[in-house]
Amino acid sequence: MIKKYTMLNYIPETLYTEAGVNPARVFNNKVITQPAACVITRNFRFEDNFVLKFAQNNEHIVIFLKPVFEIKGKQEFFDRNFNLMLKKFKNYRVFTSQAEVDDFITDNKIQTIIRDFNPLLQPQEECIEVDGLNIVPARFVSDHKEYNAQTLRRKIYFHISEFLTDFEEAPDNEGFKVLQEFIETKLDKYAEYRNNEYVTSRLSRYFNWGFLSPQRAAIEVLKSDTDSVNKEAFLEELIVRRELSSNFCLYAKNYKGFDDIPDWALMSLRAHGSDLRIHNYSREEFENAQTADENWNKIQQSLVNTGSIHPYLRMFWAKKILEWSPEPEEALRTAIYLNDKYAYDAPSENGYTAILWSIGGLHDRAFRDMPVTGKIRRMGEKKIKNML
């Protein structure tokens, strides 16, 4: 039986470097017909990039589909890291819409498209897809939506030795510096205090946009001299939990809705849909932190001002939106809207999965039936106050 926090038992002491790209990382592989193009939507990095390695680095033109954000600070964060990355490329184009990408492909008679794996943006055209987002490729490790972390963990542990390979020289970028700071100052405390705001890695925004490879983070943590308990705790979050989110968004009918939550959760939410709410706030009141709960308001203000909420606080934040919205569907829409708009690490698989865990019981079990929230897990406010 596979036990949680035993991943180190399945990882070899010495990691090898892939000579090319493991074919299992590649979906719909075929002979490349020229002219070809590599389309990047999430893996915005030059180093440690299996997508570029498969596309023979710069021999094919690289097309970047760059996101545009409403929030100035969020756009500045992305542009700062993106522009530093661009300096390492020669033959590339940057577009801000899929329509522009499609026009370029048509106008230049591109015959073969190589894309980075992105479960939030399934390609409409036939293409070669390379998974540089996950350590164990999502399409390889499972062909269906996993029930919870336990069912995926078994598969990841079984395959981790094949895919957790070494990289060459470390990158010189902002994300890697944040990783180094985390390892040097926080990793020793991670197992015991990871729910503390000051011990979180703050790496999710770099992982989400591909400025830093999760595989690079795993490699550096394994090299560190911290206790194994800290390595296990970090690898569980980095690999099992991240890749469970990737699995869900890949195979879900609708990762922004209740279509894929457990039956018990859906029935419970429907049964309590007409329950009397103590508070009933509009989206604008939530966005402007105008609730009667000072703790919730502080969390929302942190999201707006810094683009970040500690993962534990984000769960509490979303659950309160469920309690104070006129109906569960409206709560889900509000939480997704606010997180996607303000969080620097959003839109993301982690964000959608965490919100559905909080509001819809995804990957969770049923708890004692309560007014409004039904059997969805509640979170104690005492711990929240201590974190704030």
Domains of the chain: 7-16+138-251 (1.25.40.80), 23-130 (3.40.50.620), 263-387 (1.10.579.10)
Sign of CA dihedral 344, 348, 353, 356: positive
Is residue 335 within 8 A of residue 321, CB to CB? The reply is: yes
- The burial class, CB within 10 Å (0-12 / 13-18 / 19+), for 138 is buried
**pLDDT of 247 strictly over 70:** yes
* Beta-sheet pairing, 128-130 with 112-116: parallel
Span 258-268, pLDDT tens digits: 999 999 999 99
Span 319-366, pLDDT tens digits: 999 999 999 999 999 999 999 999 999 999 999 999 999 999 999 999
Residue 160: per-residue pLDDT: 99
Residue 66: per-residue pLDDT: 98
Q: Which residues of 81-100 are buried (b: 16+ CB within 10 A; e: fewer)?
A: bbeebeeeeeebeebeeeee
Residue 345: per-residue pLDDT: 98
Kindly state the helix (H) or strand (E) to which residue 61 belongs, with its residue range. Answer: strand 61-65
**pLDDT of 57 strictly over 70:** no
Span 166-206, pLDDT tens digits: 999 999 999 999 999 999 999 999 999 998 888 999 999 99
**How distant, in Å, are the alpha carbons of 47, 186, 217 from that of 224?**
21, 12, 11
> What is d(CA 194, CA 322) in angstroms, rounded to the nearest whole number?
25
Please enumerate in sequence order all residues whose Cβ is within 8 A of that of 1, keeping only pairs 6 or more positions apart, or say none.
Answer: none
**pLDDT of 65 strictly over 80:** yes
Residue with tokens 């690999």: 239
Q: How confident is the model over 208-220, as a mean pLDDT?
A: 99
Q: Which residues pair with 40 in a beta bridge?
A: 64
3-class secondary structure, 114: strand
What share of the chain in percent tops pLDDT 90?
A: 91
> What is d(CA 314, CA 385) in angstroms, rounded to the nearest whole number?
14
Is residue 108 within 8 A of residue 121, CB to CB? The reply is: no
Instruction: Using alpha carbons, select from 347, 286, 350 the residue that is nearest to residue 322.
Output: 286
What is the number of alpha carbons within 13 Å of residue 300 lying toward its C-beta?
24
Instruction: Using alpha carbons, select from 207, 264, 281 the residue that is nearest to residue 238.
Output: 207
Q: Which residues of 149-176 are buried (b: 16+ CB within 10 A; e: fewer)?
A: eebbbebbbebbeebbbebeeebebebb
